[in-house]
Amino acid sequence: MKKDKIIYWVATGIVTAMMLMSGVMYFANPEIAAGFVKLGFPDYFRVELGAAKLIGAVALIVPQIPIRVKEWAYAGFGINFISAIITHFAIGDAKGTPMIFFLLIALVVSNIYLHKTKTAVA
């Protein structure tokens, strides 16, 4: 049980830290804004995605948030990571994908161990 909690919190902490950092950078880094323009995305999409990352990260890390809400955050991050991988390959910039694959794996581990820790308690 203790091992499961440690695995859960490490995986969740990694995903949360990266999404908080990414979400903040979407607002603070002009290079990211320029990257969105280069990809042909409208600027409001960057703002929307940055806000979603911040909200999702909080949903994952706060223990009092209901599991149903956490599941939506997991789904949103999963879609985001898969879309980012596809986008990087589509523009010929595969060098950014290993970190995204790592985060996708950490997200899956976090989700699996969330359920393991919650069913063990019940």
Contact 67, 118 (CB under 8 A): yes
Contact 57, 88 (CB under 8 A): no
Please give the pLDDT value at position 84. Answer: 92
pLDDT tens, position by position, 50-98: 999 999 999 999 999 999 999 999 999 999 999 999 988 988 888 889 9
Q: 0.75 cut: is pTM over it? A: yes
Please give the pLDDT value at position 39. Answer: 84
Q: Which residue has the higher pLDDT, 78 or 120?
A: 78
Rounded Cα distance between 51 and 72, Å, is: 15
